[in-house]
Amino acid sequence: MDCGRRWLGKRRVKAVGYSIAVLPGDGIGPEVTVAALRVLDRVAKQGGLHLELETGLIGGAGIDEAGHPFPPATEALVHRAHAVLLGAVGGPRWAKSPTSPEQGLLALRSSLGLFANIRPFEVFPGLEAASPLKKPPRRGVIVRELLGGLYFGTPRGRSTRPEAGVEAVDTARYTTLEIERVARIGFEMAERQGVPLVSVDKANVLETSRLWRETVTKMSAEFPRVELIHRYVDAAAMEMVIAPERYQVVIAENLFGDILSDLAGGLVGSLGVMGSATVRQWEPGPGLYEPIHGSAPDIAGRGISNPLGAMWSVGMMLEWSFGLPEAAQAIYTAVRQTVAEGVWTPDLGGSATTEAVTESVLNHLG
Ligand code: NAD
Ligand code: IPM
Ligand code: MN
């Protein structure tokens, strides 16, 4: 079991240290975060990597303990750190809270200014039967714009109109700059992989999507080797189910990327195995790492949540924030081996606990 050690020699030249802000959050967030940190700790020890972890409050935990879903102390903490690891936020307990746990997550993302949310999906060897598809895809990645669109546009809110009751307004807004910077990450990814780039929009209806399509089309002149394919989001949702192999690198605005990445979770058998990185650059730099799933209140506290998405996220942290792709691969390999052995939590059709899956991944790391 030397896969965790393969990268050792190259990095030992000087002791490398990083600080990580850990925000476990709500529901299954703390369970999967603890599991992922055990894996990260193992890999760090093997590689002589010094990590300083500091925990902060976010979401419902922030509301309960500090009166805010993104308390000022957490904001200061994440700006001091090299990378942020988040569990999940939200749950029915805070349904009546004046500020929601989810607002804390959006405030965190916006405060960090990281805009490219990279969400890889992969049908793990041995888990083909967990996919509802007859011919499951091998892998793909959705690059989701994370700081614009309906999530953040103003005006937003409610008013009462005597003749019509209550009116609620959300605003979709995008600038060329916001589109270009995330699209560039997608183009470069498609170029490196030698695959087409699928750009998802709703340009037959929405002005923001028309700007998205125009901007991406203009940019394609800079990437002559990348075949650019445009798809409307409704057709893309259908096509991802019947021909997922066409969706190897996808770029999409915030809301469409949110929806399609959960769809991808369905294609690979469970949301629980998908991790993500949110960055703003190719070089190692600041990053926010979170599994794409939520707080799963239906299974929280039972010790059966799938920790693989959170583990994949720490792998992505090693890759995208610390520039240690070999260390990241060690985690991805250990995750794949665990799955191949049939150590599956109930979401994948197995009966393993979070603890058993974690032990298995640690064993594979050696
Ligand atoms: P969810 O992702 O929490 O759960 C959807 C389904 O997938 C549930 O059946 C759940 O049990 C299952 N599931 C999700 N992750 C799993 C895992 N790791 N292991 C096993 N099963 C898993 O989505 P939801 O139920 O729509 O939302 C619940 C709460 O989470 C809401 O408050 C929502 O806003 C929030 N949420 C937070 C995040 C985040 O913090 N990044 C992401 C999505 C949803
Ligand atoms: C996600 C979640 C969040 C989002 C919510 C909880 C704000 O669904 O990370 O995918 O919509 O971005
Ligand atoms: Mn989502």
Q: With respect to CATH, is domain 132-268 assigned 3.40.50.300?
A: no
Tell me what pLDDT residue 320 has. Answer: 97
Q: How confident is the model at residue 239 (pLDDT cuts 50, 70, 90)?
A: very high
CB 150 within 8 A of CB 257: no
Q: Is the peptide bond before 92 cis (omega within 30 degrees of 0)?
A: no
Q: Which residues are catalytic?
A: 151, 202, 234, 258, 262
pLDDT at 15: 54
Domains 1-114+271-366 and 132-268 belong to one CATH topology: yes
Give domain limits for the chain. 1-114+271-366, 132-268
60 pLDDT higher than 70: yes
Distances (CA, A) of 149 to 106, 186, 201: 12, 18, 12
Using the CB atoms, write b or e for 209-242: b if 16+ within 10 Å: bebbbebbeebeeebeebebebbbbeebeeebee
pLDDT at 127: 93
Q: pLDDT > 90: what percent of the chain? A: 93
Which of 255, 278, 295, 313 for mutating ligand 1's site (highest number of atoms within 8 Å of CB)?
295
Distance separating alpha carbons of residues 108 and 114, to the nearest angstrom: 10
Taking residues 12-33, report their average pLDDT: 87
What residues flank ligand 2, with Cβ below 6 Å? 90, 102, 105-106, 258, 292, 294
Q: What is the pLDDT of residues 129-182, one digit of tens each?
A: 899 998 888 899 999 999 999 999 999 999 999 899 999 999 999 999 999 999
| pLDDT single digits (tens) 76-109 | 999 999 999 999 999 999 999 999 999 999 999 9
Residue written as token pair 């990348």? 226
Say which residue the tokens 């239906």 belong to: 298
CATH class of 1-114+271-366: alpha beta
Question: Rounded CA gap, 32 and 87, in Å?
Answer: 7
Q: pLDDT band for position 310 (50/70/90)?
A: very high
CA distance linking residue 75 with residue 55, whole number of Å = 12
Residue whose C-alpha is closest to residue 4's, from 359, 330, 352: 330
